[in-house]
Structure 1
Amino acid sequence: MSGIYKIKSWLKSRLIANYSSTMVVVAIFVVIFMSISFTLLSPYIAKEQLSSKLDRMSKDLIDNYSSNVGEYHTFIKSVVDNISYDCGVNDREYIERKAYNNYYIRNIDIENNEDVSCSSFNGQHDYNLKPTFIKKLQENISLWNLYDNKNEQSILSLVWEGNKGRVSIDFEPIISKVIRNKYCDDCILSVVSTSKGNKNTLQPQNETKQFLSQQSLNIEIFNNSLILRHYVDPKLLSLISMDLKPLLCIIGGLIGLITFFLINIYFKHQLSLHSLILKGIQRKEFIPYYQPIVNVKNNKMYGCEVLVRWWFNKKELISPDNFIPYAENSGLIIYITDILLEKTLAELSSLNWIESLGIISINLVPEQLEDKQHMRKTVDLIIKSSISPKQIAFEITERMSFTDLDKAAIVIDYLKAQGINVKLDDAGTGYGSFSYIQHLKLQSLKIDKMFVDTIGTYDHKLSVLDSIIAFGNKSGMEMIAEGVETKEQSDYLLNNGVYLQQGYYFSEPLIFEQFREYFKREQENN
């Protein structure tokens, strides 16, 4: 047990004694790291924040526009059907009323084939002289772009050309040239275009070219094939990012503190568990429970599996799920197994076990089977007992992987030479079952409860169970099914050649006193 004292001494000197100072350093590191990390996210968050705001604005505007204008060809047809193309009183009153009642119409122009024209707008248009063609909507309907030189705005013009003349409807700009905000007046440029004409629908002045040279922040596509792009001055994103940094730094620090507290709780639990397991090893609080393995072909006991339980302070029984994973990962399971084997040999020797020819299965981790010196001591302990090595079987779990299969193969060969069988436990649930069987030349495997539970269900893992059984039968391997809880499961396994079974259907794990009574009844009946 000198190794245990070394571990305990190291634990006290390196972890427990320096725990507080170590945690202070960890806390400072975590808080600073999280604060800096969140601060570095400020450009991305600034971009997403502004993009989201523009998306909401655009959606509201587009919804409003769509409800008032609708489909272009339907909209202009309603105008064409209600005019006479003579620019008389009725025509002028109609287009003036139409433009006045619709917020999105800037003006309506009529021009007949006799060069007579009229407009709902009495002033002079301040557009560029050469409109830009966007697309043809129907045979006699087309969409054009005009440019308002005065206000530097892109204007969409819808044109109808027929036998009687021409009607054009100029719409108010869907989006203002620049959206103002608290940082600057000219930071965001919004451009309305079409999928095929996005380069021609805005005639940029020199002051807007800097925007268009940048990649658009976001794009909105809406009806009539129109596209809305938002161009943002990088300086604006930089300003928003700078504003966000203090807040993000505080949020990152708070999350860092929360993260540290969780880490602290976890490590305190692990350290306390480590210390408690060490004390348990010193006091030999780990005790064996025995679960019978039954040969259902003749209803006789084949043997038993030794399961560990922690009798904490001789008062409370702790489930393996609460300490085995940590014990395996920390290496303490080796010392626990030594205590378990010692107690098992002593208890079962008192039953005259050697005459029963029953097999005792004990779980090992791969690390134990890679240490030949340690296994020699284990074999010596078995030989000194009144139980034959041939009645001992070691089960290696798949939960942990081997680090050196060649070393393990040498140790397993040594154990086989002593008459000790080695079985693969939890077959199919972990690291390379079939590679272990092949490399380590194993002849026994245990089918995990996870697969047994699928019997009588439509779970896809039932096919995995069938594959494992088929492999075992074809290879002539000894198979034991664990976790058998119903007659249906037992019958299914027996019908498929798995006749060695254990589980609550036969017996729960028993303390030694209970197992002694079970063993006596078994001996009397057979």
Structure 2
Amino acid sequence: MKKSPITPGSTALLVGLLVLLTSYLAMGSLERSVARRELALQAAMMLRGFQDGYQNARADLAKLPSMEEMNCRDGISDTLARLNFDNQYVRWYGIAQEGKVICRGPRVGVDLSDARFHRIDDEWFLISTESPTKASNLLLAQKRGNLLYLAMLEPLLFDFMHEVDCKACVSFEFLVSAQPNVEMESAPASGPSVIHYVVEKTRLNAQMKFTLNATQEYVDAFAFPGRVLSMTIAAAFGLVIGLSVYGNLTKYTSTAFLIEQGLKRNEFLPFYQPIIDSRDGSILGAEALVRWQPKGGNLIPPGQFIPFAEENHLIDPITDQLEEKVLDDIKQFGWQDSSRFVSINAVAEQITDTPFCANLLRRLAEKRIPAKNFSVEITERHQFPDLDRGRAALQSLVEAGIEIKLDDAGTGFGGFSYIQELPITTLKIDKMFIDTLRQEKQDPKRAVLQAIIEFAKTANLHAIAEGVETKEQVSQLSAAGVFAIQGYVYSKPMPAEEFIRWMNAR
């Protein structure tokens, strides 16, 4: 009698191979699901940002006074300049008549001679420029008689954690329903699209449709952790493995999880960029800028992880880790008996909704660091939910001797309201304004720079210029009365050990 070739051993091997194959097939679909989920999150964030900008710009234009009340001198309006200073969603405001801009804020304007009008209703229009069908610049316009009140909206930006390993793997198309429709698109992706996500919303009579397309390279960025997990448990479980992989893959490929692991490994470090008095070259202090140094990996700049940390409520433990290291470094610098300071950044929610201020004061006392050696820079990425609570919290720091600075002055939510309501003593002038000093042609943003400097003098506020790169900029700032300089003209941001060597070599 012939023996059957099918033995218990071969059956077990076959089942094992089938389970392994099933796991890999499941993993393929789950990789795509996770990638699609990340793509959907990006699409929702990008569309929400544009909608907020559209709504805020529309509200701003509706509240503007008549042309006669605009105080427009030589084509420049202080009212429109103030809007440019306060609104992060709009790049430029202006008023046009018969296709010509007759009044504007002190920023780069637009040429309306070849503009294409897209009607939303009898009062409101969108205007695209530079291309008849694919908009390079997009403006919101309100019709008032023979005048058009204009606001240039900020462009759509894609932010992807794995962009170092995944260049040009995502493209987008954006459509606003109008007469005719407005269409915008990014540069094409580096390969064919394998997944896409579409989101549609209506805001103030304008229907908006946003589509994100991703290549296989984008999907592959989520593959490795799931495949490792699949290999370890595939032999024991068949059908169950699919659900297990899905849950763990989602967890282990998320940016939040990677940040949590980085916190456990103490991977977030302060890099110090000095602030110099240009009159004598003396060191006034330094700003501590957070960097992420994964074990065995390349240094990650803050733009690639700070937004995700804020979104997942992880910015507080990062700040705590940074504070501990900065206070220890101040002792190494030997600054306790001087007026030199180190400043760190904090967002509005940390000030009002967390024990940030109390913890900072406690750490200063425990480590016996004078409060004058520490300052806090208020960033404008998020608006203060309650200015009264913010003022009270910051006042506790001021009373202890900690100085409060306004970071990136003129580029975010706060504007003049922060200066009026909060105990701020220093304005840090953003690089976008400093860059106007490098250009041969007069840049309209230079008027904003001059206005910030004059405002600081009038309000008896200190001023620090950020992003200064050339000696010529230093000279021009000195002539304007700004002597506190931060930027590559003196030094790049450095880890503590390198910063100490740099100070000793001066």
Query: Structure 2-normalised TM-score?
Result: 0.51
Aligned to 1:295: 277
The residue correspondences of 1:338-353 to structure 2 (distance < 5 A) are: 338-353=320-335
Determine if the alignment matches structure 1 residue 485 to structure 2 residue 469.
yes
Aligned to 2:451: 467
Aligned to 2:356: 374
- C-alpha offsets along residues 124-164 of structure 1, whole Å, 9 cap, x if unaligned? xxxxxxxxxxxxxxxxxxxxxxxxxxxxxxxxxxxxxxxxx
- The residue identity in structure 1 corresponding to 2:305 is F
Which of 367, 370, 382 aligns to 1:400? It is 382
State the 1:446 CA deviation. Answer: 0.3
Aligned to 1:384: 366
What is the rounded CA distance, in whole Å, between the counterparts of 2:31 and 2:304 in structure 1?
29
Determine if the alignment matches structure 1 residue 519 to structure 2 residue 491.
no
Is the 2:357–2:394 Cα contact (8 Å) retained in structure 1? no
What is the rounded CA distance, in whole Å, between the counterparts of 1:403 and 1:437 in structure 2?
16
What is the rounded CA distance, in whole Å, between the counterparts of 2:399 and 2:258 in structure 1?
38
- The residue identity in structure 1 corresponding to 2:346 is L
Is the 1:310–1:318 Cα contact (8 Å) retained in structure 2? yes
Gaps of at least 5 residues in structure 2 are: 1-28, 41-192, 199-211, 223-249
What is the rounded CA distance, in whole Å, between the counterparts of 1:280 and 1:456 in structure 2?
39
Query: Structure 1-normalised TM-score?
Result: 0.49
Aligned to 1:161: none
Aligned to 1:259: 197
- The residue identity in structure 1 corresponding to 2:196 is I
State the 1:256 CA deviation. Answer: 11
Q: 1:314 to 1:489 in 2, by over 3 A?
A: same
Q: 1:353 to 1:386 in 2, by over 3 A?
A: farther
- C-alpha offsets along residues 38-59 of structure 1, whole Å, 9 cap, x if unaligned? xxxxxxxxxxxxxxxxxxxxxx
- C-alpha offsets along residues 8-56 of structure 1, whole Å, 9 cap, x if unaligned? xxxxxxxxxxx969959x99xx9xxxxxxxxxxxxxxxxxxxxxxxxxx
The residue correspondences of 1:146-295 to structure 2 (distance < 5 A) are: 258-259=196-197, 272-295=254-277
Is the 1:296–1:501 Cα contact (8 Å) retained in structure 2? yes
Structure 1 counterpart SS, 2:276? strand
Aligned to 2:482: 498
Which of 313, 317, 320 aligns to 1:335? It is 317
- The residue identity in structure 2 corresponding to 1:297 is R
Whose helix fraction is larger, Structure 1's or Structure 2's? 1
Aligned to 2:52: none
State the 1:373 CA deviation. Answer: 3.1
What is the rounded CA distance, in whole Å, between the counterparts of 2:315 and 2:355 in structure 1?
17
Is the 2:252–2:258 Cα contact (8 Å) retained in structure 1? no
What is the rounded CA distance, in whole Å, between the counterparts of 1:269 and 1:432 in structure 2?
36
Q: 1:456 to 1:317 in 2, by over 3 A?
A: closer
- C-alpha offsets along residues 437-467 of structure 1, whole Å, 9 cap, x if unaligned? 1011312110011110111422211111111
- The residue identity in structure 2 corresponding to 1:471 is F
What is the rounded CA distance, in whole Å, between the counterparts of 1:394 and 1:291 in structure 2?
15
Aligned to 2:308: 326
Determine if the alignment matches structure 1 residue 365 to structure 2 residue 351.
no
Is the 2:306–2:315 Cα contact (8 Å) retained in structure 1? yes
Structure 2 counterpart SS, 1:284? coil
What is the rounded CA distance, in whole Å, between the counterparts of 2:359 and 2:338 in structure 1?
25
Is the 1:409–1:440 Cα contact (8 Å) retained in structure 2? yes
Structure 2 counterpart SS, 1:317? coil
Is the 1:372–1:411 Cα contact (8 Å) retained in structure 2? no
What is the rounded CA distance, in whole Å, between the counterparts of 1:431 and 1:292 in structure 2?
27
Deviates more, 1:340-349 or 1:312-321: 312-321
State the 1:342 CA deviation. Answer: 0.4
For these two proteins, the number of residue pairs brought into alignment is 279
State the 1:365 CA deviation. Answer: 1.0
Aligned to 1:414: 396
Higher relative contact order (CA 8 A, sep 6+): 2
What is the rounded CA distance, in whole Å, between the counterparts of 1:502 and 1:21 in structure 2?
44
State the 1:413 CA deviation. Answer: 0.7
State the 1:271 CA deviation. Answer: 5.5
Is the 1:393–1:422 Cα contact (8 Å) retained in structure 2? yes
Gaps of at least 5 residues in structure 1 are: 1-18, 31-254
- C-alpha offsets along residues 236-278 of structure 1, whole Å, 9 cap, x if unaligned? xxxxxxxxxxxxxxxxxxx996327959969969962111011
Is the 1:349–1:386 Cα contact (8 Å) retained in structure 2? no
- The residue identity in structure 2 corresponding to 1:505 is V
What root-mean-square deviation, in Å, do the aligned CA atoms of Structure 1 and Structure 2 show?
Answer: 3.0
What is the rounded CA distance, in whole Å, between the counterparts of 2:292 and 2:305 in structure 1?
9
Aligned to 1:163: none
State the 1:374 CA deviation. Answer: 3.4
Is the 2:372–2:403 Cα contact (8 Å) retained in structure 1? yes
- C-alpha offsets along residues 311-349 of structure 1, whole Å, 9 cap, x if unaligned? 111542112221122223332111111101101111221
Is the 2:251–2:257 Cα contact (8 Å) retained in structure 1? no
Structure 2 counterpart SS, 1:326? helix
Q: 1:274 to 1:505 in 2, by over 3 A?
A: same
What is the rounded CA distance, in whole Å, between the counterparts of 1:342 and 1:454 in structure 2?
37
What is the rounded CA distance, in whole Å, between the counterparts of 1:444 and 1:362 in structure 2?
14
